[in-house]
Structure 1
Amino acid sequence: METTPVIYWITTGLLAAAMTFSAYAYLTQPVMKATFEHLGYPAHFRRQLAVAKLLGAVLLIAPVGPLLEEWAYAGFAFTFISASVSHIAMSDPLSERVVPLVILVVLAVSYVTYHNGLL
């Protein structure tokens, strides 16, 4: 069995699950509302990002075609980089700065294995 499909599905599944959980937390957890306020973002942005994360998770898992999947990968990349920059700008703890970048690495592995002939 080739390892590329296994790595792809593990990383993509983890990413989709994390984004789904994240979206749910954005909509239901008071601590997430407080975090967005701390970062200086308006309340509507938290809700928009939750919807975008849910859509992106679906686009990565469902067979929707390469164009939409590329947009999902790009959107997540921008989101993770921006999240890290936002936490750095607010002098948040190192863990809050690094976690989005760790997820970005998972996204990159998913993306590379996707483009290595899997689908």
Structure 2
Amino acid sequence: MKKEKIIFWAATILIFLFEGVMPALTSQTEMAKEGIRHLGYPEYFGVALVVFKVAGSIALVIPKIKGRVKEWVYAGFGFDFIFASISHWAVDGFGGQAIFPLVVFAILAVSYIYYHKLNRNQDYSAL
């Protein structure tokens, strides 16, 4: 159980840092704005994306938030990473920019799997 908690929190904290802290601190930089423009998206899309990323990452690290809300957060991040990879691949071709979102997607998958392992163990311990 302790190993499962460590794996869950390590993966979840990485997602929190990549999707919550980094966008919150860097979203208004010229480099971030140029990145959104480079992919062909309007600037307001970048703002909306940051709001949802920060809210979602906070929801992931708050233990009291469970059930459907947590499932939607995981799904939203999953879509975000997949579409980020597709966007970079379509604009820049296959390379590091297209692969990195899939690496973060794998970290998200680890967090999701261990979230369910921990909840399943808690459900059985309550019986």
Question: Aligned partners of 2:53, 2:5: CA distance in 1, in Å?
Answer: 23
**TM alignment of 1:1-119, pairs within 5 A:** 2-20=2-20, 21-26=22-27, 28-62=28-62, 63-92=64-93, 94-118=95-119
Question: Aligned partners of 1:84, 1:98: CA distance in 2, in Å?
Answer: 6
Question: Aligned partners of 1:40, 1:23: CA distance in 2, in Å?
Answer: 21
The share of aligned pairs that are identical, in percent, is 36
Question: Aligned partners of 2:2, 2:58: CA distance in 1, in Å?
Answer: 25
Question: Aligned partners of 1:78, 1:108: CA distance in 2, in Å?
Answer: 12
RMSD: 1.4
Structure 1 segments of 4 or more deviating over 4 A?
none
With the length of structure 2 as denominator, give the TM-score of the two structures: 0.87
| Corresponding letter in the other structure for 2:54 | L
Give structure 2 stretches of 5+ with no counterpart: 123-127
With the length of structure 1 as denominator, give the TM-score of the two structures: 0.92
How many residues get paired? Answer: 118
Question: Aligned partners of 2:115, 2:49: CA distance in 1, in Å?
Answer: 24
Question: Aligned partners of 2:110, 2:51: CA distance in 1, in Å?
Answer: 24
Displacement of 1:93:
6.0
Displacement of 1:64:
1.4
Displacement of 1:60:
0.2
